[in-house]
């Protein structure tokens, strides 16, 4: 028990000093963000359409967001209690997104039906 | 918290991992967020609430766009710039994206140099970040001017669905406001770093709390969040 506590000293002591990581990590993430942004721009530039467009755009978006939150905002080095408190609530908003997709589809169908736009 | 306190054999932080650590932290006395100062925890809570604000904007944009029977204006064409006689689609938005990502990189390095007590580098990188932020706002102002000249208004536009204008001005306007506030915030923090406020624990004029380099990291959280929001706006507003 005593030994395990001693082993954690360097890590916790460093944490008390603030988030310190090598500059190299930031350069790598920076490069990756540039590459991913270029890819998402190219999706539009080459007129990729349909489900492939959506898949690519969303994949690049989630990867970029993940890298920013995890490394630039130091989330991977925080304790789980903070990570979950901050990340789970926005994920639950996806339920709201799903609800509004159904609602919007319904509104669209109704408008088509009653305004005669679909005829 | 002093390292010696953490090093004690009764240190609860070292005992649990995974789910048990969450239960232990949240059910513990006094504070749930261990090893995180209140300033940082509160910035995270603020950013969470801001996430909901932007989430609602993007959600309502998605709803009006999916439910309109009028064709949506083609963002790829509207945001094209004429360079050398050719229309390059979405190029201004791509440049704005790269500028903001670059500013995020310089911000991360400013935080790093701050913790290394490298005052000059930290302050310069903060100012560079502020300059990139100001460039972003400038390009956004240019984009707004161009669209307004083209006849885009919150209540209608010549390209298609009327909801395009209101969504565009609301979402990018609110984001641009965040960037502008961030630039001011950056200049203030850069001045404090330059003056050595965080080295000699000078008290803040507003909070009268002792300065600490963590303030730079907290500033960084806000700035990276602004970049994060742009990632979502870029994907769902400009690339859809």
Chain centre to alpha carbon of residue A32 = 14
Does position B49 have pLDDT exceeding 90, yes or no?
Answer: yes
Best to test chain A binding among B101, B129, B230 (most A CBs inside 10 Å): B101
DSSP state for residue B70 in the 8-state scheme: S
- Chain A closest CA to B144's CA: distance in Å? 21
Q: What is the average per-residue pLDDT within B23-37?
A: 79
Q: Is B39 on the interface with A (CB under 8 A)?
A: no
Q: Number of A:B CB contacts under 8 A?
A: 193
**For position B154, what pLDDT does the model report?**
92
CA-nearest of A67, A69, A70 to A34 is: A67
Partners of residue B109 in chain A, C-beta under 8 Å: 23, 26
- State the average pLDDT for chain A: 83
The reply to whether residue B111 touches residue A115, judged by beta carbons under 8 angstroms, is no
User: Could you tell me the two tokens for B76?
Assistant: 């790829």
Rounded to whole angstroms, the Cα distance separating B56 from B53 reads 5
Query: pLDDT tens digits, residue range A88-98?
Result: 999 999 999 99
**For position B97, what pLDDT does the model report?**
94
Does position A2 have pLDDT exceeding 60, yes or no?
Answer: no
Neighbours of B181 (CB within 10 A): 13
Rounded to whole angstroms, the Cα distance separating B22 from B204 reads 34
- Taking only residues 128 to 157 of chain B, the set having a beta carbon closer than 8 angstroms to any beta carbon of chain A reads none
The answer to whether domain B37-238 has CATH 3.60.20.10 is no
**For position B169, what pLDDT does the model report?**
95
Q: Which residue has the higher pLDDT, B35 or A112?
A: A112
The reply to whether residue A44 touches residue B239, judged by beta carbons under 8 angstroms, is yes
Domain boundaries, chain B: 37-238
Q: Is B69 on the interface with A (CB under 8 A)?
A: yes
pTM of the model: 0.86
**For position B17, what pLDDT does the model report?**
79
**For position A39, what pLDDT does the model report?**
92
A74, closest residue in chain B (CA to CA)? B221
CA-nearest of B138, B136, B113 to B125 is: B113
Instruction: Specify whether the CB–CB gap between B151 and B157 falls below 8 A.
Output: yes
DSSP state for residue A22 in the 8-state scheme: -
Partners of residue A9 in chain B, C-beta under 8 Å: 3, 6-7
Helix axes A50-67, A23-45, angle to 10 degrees: 160
B58, closest residue in chain A (CA to CA)? A97
Among candidates B7, B25, B68 on the partner chain, residue whose Cβ is nearest the Cβ of A81: B25
Rounded to whole angstroms, the Cα distance separating A47 from B67 reads 24
Q: What is the average per-residue pLDDT within B38-54?
A: 94
- Using CA atoms, how far residue B190 sits from A113, B196, B197, in Å, is 59, 10, 10
Beta-bridge mates of residue B86: B83
Rounded to whole angstroms, the Cα distance separating B68 from B92 reads 27
Query: pLDDT tens digits, residue range B208-222?
Result: 777 788 899 999 999
Rounded to whole angstroms, the Cα distance separating B11 from A23 reads 31
**For position B13, what pLDDT does the model report?**
65
Q: Which residues contact B20 (CB under 8 A, 6 or more apart)?
A: none
Does position B131 have pLDDT exceeding 80, yes or no?
Answer: yes
Q: Which residue has the higher pLDDT, B206 or A36?
A: A36
> b vs e for A62-81, b when ≥16 Cβ sit within 10 Å of the residue's Cβ?
ebbbebbbebbbbbebbbeb
Q: Are strands B81-83 and B86-88 parallel, antiparallel or unpaired?
A: antiparallel
Best to test chain A binding among B28, B39, B69, B218 (most A CBs inside 10 Å): B69
Partners of residue B161 in chain A, C-beta under 8 Å: none
**For position B181, what pLDDT does the model report?**
96
What is the dihedral sign for C-alpha B7, B12, B18, B24?
Answer: negative
CA-nearest of B98, B77, B80, B79 to B88 is: B80
Partners of residue A107 in chain B, C-beta under 8 Å: 63, 67
């Amino acid at each position: 028990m005593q030994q395990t506590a001693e082993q954690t000293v360097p890590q916790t002591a460093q944490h008390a000093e603030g988030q310190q990581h090598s500059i190299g990590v930031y350069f790598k993430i920076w490069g990756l963000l540039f590459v991913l942004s270029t890819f998402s721009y190219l999706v539009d530039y080459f007129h990729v359409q349909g489900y492939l467009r959506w898949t690519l755009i969303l994949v690049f978006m989630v990867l970029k967001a993940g890298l920013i939150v995890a490394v630039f905002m130091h989330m991977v080095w925080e304790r789980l209690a903070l990570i979950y408190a901050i990340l789970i609530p926005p994920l639950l908003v996806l339920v709201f997104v799903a609800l509004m997709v159904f609602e919007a589809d319904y509104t669209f169908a109704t408008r088509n039906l009653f305004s005669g736009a679909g005829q | 918290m002093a390292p010696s306190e953490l090093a004690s054999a009764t240190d609860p932080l070292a005992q649990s991992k995974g789910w048990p650590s969450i239960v232990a932290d949240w059910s513990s006395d006094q504070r749930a967020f261990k090893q995180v100062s209140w300033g940082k925890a509160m910035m995270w809570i603020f950013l969470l609430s801001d996430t909901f604000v932007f989430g609602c904007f993007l959600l309502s944009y998605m709803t009006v766009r999916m439910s309109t029977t009028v064709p949506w204006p083609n963002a790829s064409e509207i945001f094209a710039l004429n360079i050398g006689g050719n229309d390059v689609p979405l190029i201004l938005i791509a440049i704005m994206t790269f500028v903001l990502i670059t500013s995020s990189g310089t911000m991360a390095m400013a935080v790093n140099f701050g913790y290394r007590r490298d005052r000059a580098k930290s302050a310069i990188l903060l100012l560079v970040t502020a300059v990139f932020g100001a460039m972003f706002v400038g390009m956004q102002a240019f984009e707004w001017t161009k669209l307004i000249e083209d006849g885009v208004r919150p209540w209608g536009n010549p390209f298609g669905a009327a909801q395009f204008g209101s969504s565009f001005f609301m979402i990018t306007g609110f984001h641009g406001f965040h960037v502008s506030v961030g630039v001011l915030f950056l200049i203030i923090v850069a001045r404090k770093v330059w003056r050595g406020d965080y080295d000699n624990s000078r008290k803040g004029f507003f909070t009268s709390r002792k300065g600490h380099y963590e303030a730079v990291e907290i500033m960084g959280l806000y700035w990276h969040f602004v970049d994060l929001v742009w990632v979502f706006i870029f994907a769902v507003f400009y690339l859809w």
